[in-house]
Chains A and B, each alone.
Chain A
Amino acid sequence: NAGVTQTPKFQVLKTGQSMTLQCAQDMNHEYMSWYRQDPGMGLRLIHYSVGAGITDQGEVPNGYNVSRSTTEDFPLRLLSAAPSQTSVYFCASRRPGLEKTQYFGPGTRLLVL
């Protein structure tokens, strides 16, 4: 199993540009989520999904969209990038129920100029 994969590893955007961060998992996990990591702030939940076709907002959803058309994929879209979105983005997945251990991807480092 590849686990959770993320692409790209690093991206530079100009303010106002759009892009999609890709996330895929091959563990058949129903739950998937996107986090951003900023220095001194830990992880903050952007959006999450409890299954295909179901998404919900986390703590910091503004400026981001998600969709979940398949169990495997959970892309994160930045519609109009802003410098405040410069961060490291992590995708994670887990099984439902009491097995709450999350499996993280390697991260995408995003720089918005």
Chain B
Amino acid sequence: AQSVAQPEDQVNVAEGNPLTVKCTYSVSGNPYLFWYVQYPNRGLQFLLKYITGDNLVKGSYGFEAEFNKSQTSFHLKKPSALVSDSALYFCDQDSNYQLIWGAGTKLIIKP
């Protein structure tokens, strides 16, 4: 069965340090991969996506993600974390409208 794994329930990072939120997927063919962010008591907001082309994808708020086909990963990264980046992050795989979501990773940025 297809699945998306976010292996860390929570990631803690000091402000100013680089951050990584991990996501691995399992699908045959070419996956469409997304990252969304959810701030407290809000709906999800689109951050970035990989459809095809360059493996390094740049998105909103300084985030980027690297598509790695050999490792079936799509990790979210940011060079320098801000306290305002604290939120819940979801990885999503879209294959012919079969949407598969990761369980989410809570990112906490400490001042």
A-to-B contact residues, CB < 8 Å:
4, 31, 33, 40-45, 48, 50, 90, 92, 98, 100-107
Contacts and interface: CB of A to CB of B under 8 A. Distances in A.
A42 B101 CA distance: 6
Contacts of A33: 99
B101 A100 contact: no
Interface string B28-54: 000010101000011111100101000
A40 B90 CA distance: 11
Contacts of A45: 99
B103 interface: yes
A42 B99 contact: no
B90 A90 contact: no
Contacts of A44: 101
Contacts of B51: 98, 100
The 6 closest A-B pairs by CB, nearest first: A104-B43, A42-B101, A42-B103, A43-B101, A104-B44, A106-B43
Given A40-B103, A100-B49, A106 B97 contact: no
